Amino acid sequence: MAVYLCHEYPDLYEHEATIIDAAPGRLVLDRSAFHPGGGGQVSDTGWLDHAAGTVDVTGVDNVDGVIWHVLADDALELAGPVVLRVDHERRSRVAQLHTDSHVLNALVYESFPGTLVTGAQINDDGTGRMDFDLSEVDNDVLRALDGGVNDVIRRGVEVRSVYVDAGDASAVAGLVRSLSVAPPPTPDGTLRVIDIDGVDRQACGGTHLSNTAQSRPFRITKVENKGKRNRRIRFTLD
């Protein structure tokens, strides 16, 4: 499944599905609103209502593009129709951090043109980090960037996902700027771009807000030197 259901229907948190493959403690569904994770973002979690009750879905295991939903009960083997529910709160927390990280990335890119992201991690506990290929920078300058992120949150800027031709995308400087956050491929050769109006445009396959005002305040907690060329910025939601 190259295009995720959660991209097409970002507000879909509960739906019926049919189990098409199963093993003890795991199963594959014919459709799933779960984001499978990747590119530094944790996967969705949630619940599965089945004929005999409800079981927690603790994450996904992507095996060569096949999305196995991992169950909290590792002996349970299910079949037939079910209802899948996404943990809305966790999705929202990750989407806030993820959207804010795009804004942070834009501010770093604007302050230090050409800066590449060398790593990113968005956790489900309301924290995250981004690593940048930056050497000659005062860490206090980086630490102060959360003020700019909070400005964008306060302004309530619209966030859209658009699809552009992958061939054109590589010609647009800064659109594909990450070293390690690979957007997912689509069958027709297009690239999903997250457009934070007037702030940032970047290829990305993660989950995001539809307006920056939906984010809680953003705070940079720490800036660390990681090797000669890398700075790690740690952040959280207040």
Which residues of the shown chain bind Zn ion in the complex (CB under 5 A)?
98, 204, 206
Q: How far is the CB of 194 from Zn ion (least distance, A)?
A: 5
Compare residues 41 and 236 and give the one whose CB is closer to Zn ion. 41
Residues pairing with 178 in the sheet: 117
Q: How far is the CB of 24 from Zn ion (least distance, A)?
A: 34
Compare residues 59 and 184 and give the one whose CB is closer to Zn ion. 184
149: part of which helix (H) or strand (E)? helix 146-155
Q: How far is the CB of 172 from Zn ion (least distance, A)?
A: 16
Q: Are 32 and 46 in contact (CB under 8 A)?
A: no
Q: Are 197 and 136 in contact (CB under 8 A)?
A: no
Compare residues 26 and 98 and give the one whose CB is closer to Zn ion. 98
Compare residues 192 and 232 and give the one whose CB is closer to Zn ion. 192
Name the amino acid, one letter, at 207: T
Rg of the Cα trace of the chain? 19
Could you give the CA distance from residue 43 to residue 206 in angstroms, rounded to a whole number? Answer: 9
Report which residue's Cβ sits closest to Zn ion: 204
Compare residues 69 and 208 and give the one whose CB is closer to Zn ion. 208
Q: How far is the CB of 41 from Zn ion (least distance, A)?
A: 7
Q: How far is the CB of 37 from Zn ion (least distance, A)?
A: 12
Kindly write down the DSSP assignment for every residue of 39-57, as one continuous string: TTBPPP-EEEEETTEEEEE
φ/ψ region of 142 (left if φ > 0, alpha if ψ in -120 to 50, else beta) reads alpha
